[in-house]
Structure 1
Amino acid sequence: MTSGRVTVYFAALLARTEDGWVASDTELDDVETLADLADLAREASVDDDTVLAFIEQEDAWFGVVRVDGEEDPRIYVSDAAAAARSSYGEILLTDELLGREPEDDLDSLVNLDGTEDGEPEREADNEPTAGDEAVPPGPIGDSELLSDLGVGQKDLLALNGDALSEIADALGCTDVLEAVR
C-alpha cells in the first residue's frame, strides 16, 4: 500500500517597486527552464527593479532566484540534492550552477551505463553515479544574493522550516507574501 502523500509546492514572485514590494503567486506549469523563469520575473518587474522568485517544496528545500533587469539571474537553492528530485528544482539546478559543462550529462540523456561495450554492470552497492556526484547535498548557489536587501549569507544559510516567510520578514513584506499563499 502506498501513501497518498501529495508534494506541496509554493511559488511566488516578489517585485520591488518604489512603494515597496508587490507579490504575486505564480504557476510554474509552463516554466521549463531558468530562462523561462527569468522571463516570467522580468514581466512582473516595474522599471527593471529587482524581482525575487521563490520556490518551495514543503519541508524539503527552497530556492530563490533574483532577477535585476536584464542581468543574468542569481540563484540560491537550500538543498541541491533534494531539489534535484523535484521537477521544479531541476529548473534551478543549471549546469552552470552545478559547475559542469552541458555535455557532461550526455550519458544520462542516452542512458549509457557502460554495458554497451560488454563491460559488466555495476553492483547496486550504493556507488555514486555521475548524477549523484554532480548534485551535492546542502546549499548551492549565490548565498549573498539577498545581502543588500537585509538577508546576509550567514542568515540565508541558517534558514530552514518556513524560510520564505523569514526572508519576507527581513525584507519587510511578510503581509504581501502571505496574501498570495
Structure 2
Amino acid sequence: MGDERVIGYMKAHKRNGTELFIFARGAVVKGRPKRHNGSMSYFTEILAETSDGFRALDVDVRDASDLDSLVEMMQAAGSEDGESVAVIEHEDEWFGLVRVCENNEIRVFLSDLRAVELSPFADIFADFLDSQPDAYEAEPEEEFGLEDEAAAQADDDAEEEEVAMLEFDADAEWGGDAEIYADRGVLPAELIEQVEKYRSDPARVVAHVGETVGFADQLQAAR
C-alpha cells in the first residue's frame, strides 16, 4: 500500500471451522423497502456474485440472530463458486458490510461501532463490538516524600494524560476489517477516508464500494 497505513490491531476467531478476522482501530433483502422504526430507517440487501455479475438474494438480513446464521443464509442462497455481500445501512448514521469470500473467509466492516451497538443489529456484530479497545486508564505512580502540593500536581498531570487518551479513543468509531475489499480495489485508507468524509451519508460510501467491486447497479435497483 506504499506509504498508506492503517493503525489498529487484528483478532482472529474460529467460527464453524472458518477463520474470522476482526480488525479494530486503536479506534440489505430482495426488493424490500427501507424499514422504519420511528425516526430510524434501515435498508438491507444481500447480493451474490455469479458468472453474470451480482444478483439480489431473496433472504432477509433481519431473520439472522447472529453472524453465524447470517453467513449460513448467505452461503445457502448464494452460488457455490462465488462470493456474497450483505449490506446494512442506517440512514444518515452508519453502514455495515459482511463479505463471504469464495474460500469462505468472512470479512466485516462497520462504519460506526457505537451506532451499531445501539441498533437492532447489535447481536449480529457482537464480536466486533467486543473488539473495541478498552479506554486507556492511567494510574498515577505512587510517589514517596512529595509535599502535598506536589502530589496533587502529579495527580492532575495523570488525569490530563488520561483524558487525552480517552479523547483519542473517542475518535476510533469504525471497526472490523478495513481491508474487506482491498483485493478488489478498495484500499483501506481510501475506505476510511470515505467513511470520515461522508459520515452522515453512509449510502454514498456503500455506493462507492459497490462501483469499485461491481455491485452498485444491483444494489441501487433494490433500493
Q: Please report the TM-score for the alignment, with normalisation by the length of structure 1.
A: 0.69
Return closer, same or farther for 1:44/1:169 CA change in 2, 3 Å cut-off: same
State the Cα RMSD in Å.
2.7
TM-superposition CA deviations, 1:126-147 (whole Å, max 9, x none) = xxxxxxxxx9851111100111
Q: What residue number does 1:83 align with?
A: 116
Within 5 Å, which residues of 2 pair with 1:138-157?
138-157=173-192
Instruction: Indicate the larger mover: 77-86 or 46-55.
Output: 46-55
Return closer, same or farther for 1:136/1:23 CA change in 2, 3 Å cut-off: farther
Q: What residue number does 1:47 align with?
A: 80
Q: Is the 8 A contact 2:47 2:54 kept in 1?
A: yes
Q: What residue number does 2:40 align with?
A: 7
Which structure shows the higher strand fraction? 2
Q: Give the Cα–Cα distance (whole angstroms) in 1 for the partners of residues 101 and 80 of structure 2.
A: 10
TM-superposition CA deviations, 1:101-126 (whole Å, max 9, x none) = xxxxxxxxxxxxxxxxxxxxxxxxxx
Q: Does residue 203 of structure 2 align to residue 168 of structure 1?
A: no
Q: Give the Cα–Cα distance (whole angstroms) in 1 for the partners of residues 82 and 118 of structure 2.
A: 32
Any gaps of 5 or more consecutive residues in structure 1? 101-134
Return closer, same or farther for 1:137/1:90 CA change in 2, 3 Å cut-off: farther
Return closer, same or farther for 1:95/1:164 CA change in 2, 3 Å cut-off: closer
Within 5 Å, which residues of 2 pair with 1:9-158?
9-24=42-57, 26-69=59-102, 71-94=104-127, 98=131, 137-158=172-193
Q: Give the Cα–Cα distance (whole angstroms) in 1 for the partners of residues 117 and 43 of structure 2.
A: 17
Any gaps of 5 or more consecutive residues in structure 2? 1-36, 134-169
TM-fit CA distance, 1:93: 3.2
Give the aligned residue type for 2:220.
E
Q: Is the 8 A contact 2:113 2:129 kept in 1?
A: no
User: Secondary structure at 2:46's aligned position in 1?
Assistant: strand
The count of residues paired between Structure 1 and Structure 2 equals 145
Query: Which is greater in Rg?
Result: 2
Q: Give the Cα–Cα distance (whole angstroms) in 1 for the partners of residues 90 and 46 of structure 2.
A: 15
Q: Give the Cα–Cα distance (whole angstroms) in 2 for the partners of residues 54 and 6 of structure 1.
A: 20
TM-fit CA distance, 1:44: 2.8
Runs of 4+ in 1 over 3 A off after TM superposition: none
Instruction: Indicate the larger mover: 21-30 or 77-86.
Output: 21-30
Q: Give the Cα–Cα distance (whole angstroms) in 2 for the partners of residues 97 and 54 of structure 1.
A: 21
Q: Is the 8 A contact 1:97 1:140 kept in 2?
A: no
